[in-house]
Amino acid sequence: MADRRLAVVILHYGDPALTFRVKEQLEQSDPKLAEHIHVLDNHAPEAFPGAWRRLDENLYWSGALDYCLKEFERRSYTHLWFLNNDIWFGSKPPHILKAWKRLEQLDAKIGPIGVYSPAIHRSPYHPQMIEKPGLQYSLVPYIDGISPLFSIECLNKIGGLDYEGNIYGYGVDVWNSLALHRAGFSVVVDHQVTIRHIYHSTAKKVDGFLTTAAEAQHKYMTARLGDDYEEQLKQELASCRDFRSF
């Protein structure tokens, strides 16, 4: 891993206690990697004490992700793990080192991985993300962007993060991971690194946000996949492949 460098960013917006919980969990799990763990305060109404950086305005999910991709590429990092603040890890520690080593092994085994994600204990939206304890990993066509770990190089090869017209982020995770898949890069869900997630923990508290974000998502996805994008996404899931050995 001499030339590989991983930056871990927790996006803070909403309750500082949630952000602190996952930050503390990672620092206790991987103390030797603490210098690579950063909290980005997305101009939250309740600022996060000791954040790596507080933005001058709310860039929302897409803008904040793009900001971090560019910032950490400039710092010579090769990968970015972009975490929601309303998650916590359910698998055994060390969380960062375990994921990073497994990603390196998978990169060597199956070719360049565009984006990697822990499996999720429960998901009402994306069945391909749900943890399957008897499996090692799954190859999927797209992911839910709760905790995506991106190869910056792979993203750059498809033109960088595409979020034009949708700064809010809903659908941006799906489309960009699908674009990586269609470009020949692997999209991986790891069933041995798992998280739990509180869906819409902040978004549902902001009046009108979910409606605005859903409208932006519909326009964004329609522009890229057409009016039947939801059916296309369902059909794409037929390509999922599960692996019991590593």
Which region holds residue 226: left if phi is over 0, alpha if psi is between -120 and 50, else beta? left
- Is the pLDDT confidence value at 99 over 80? yes
* Confidence class for position 66, pLDDT limits 50, 70, 90: very high
- Is the pLDDT confidence value at 1 over 50? no
Longest CA–CA span in the chain (Å) reads 48
- 9, 68 contact by CB (below 8 A): yes
d(CA 235, CA 102): 29
- 54, 47 contact by CB (below 8 A): yes
- Is the pLDDT confidence value at 2 over 80? no
d(CA 197, CA 241): 24
Supply the Cα-derived Rg of the chain in whole angstroms.
17
**pLDDT tens-digit readout, 148-199:** 999 999 999 999 999 999 999 999 999 999 999 999 999 999 999 999 988 6
- 169, 135 contact by CB (below 8 A): no
- With pLDDT > 70 as the criterion, what percentage of the chain qualifies? 96
Locus of tokens 């009402």:
124
Locus of tokens 């269609």:
182
CATH number of the structural domain 6-243: 3.90.550.10
Side chain identity, residue 101: K
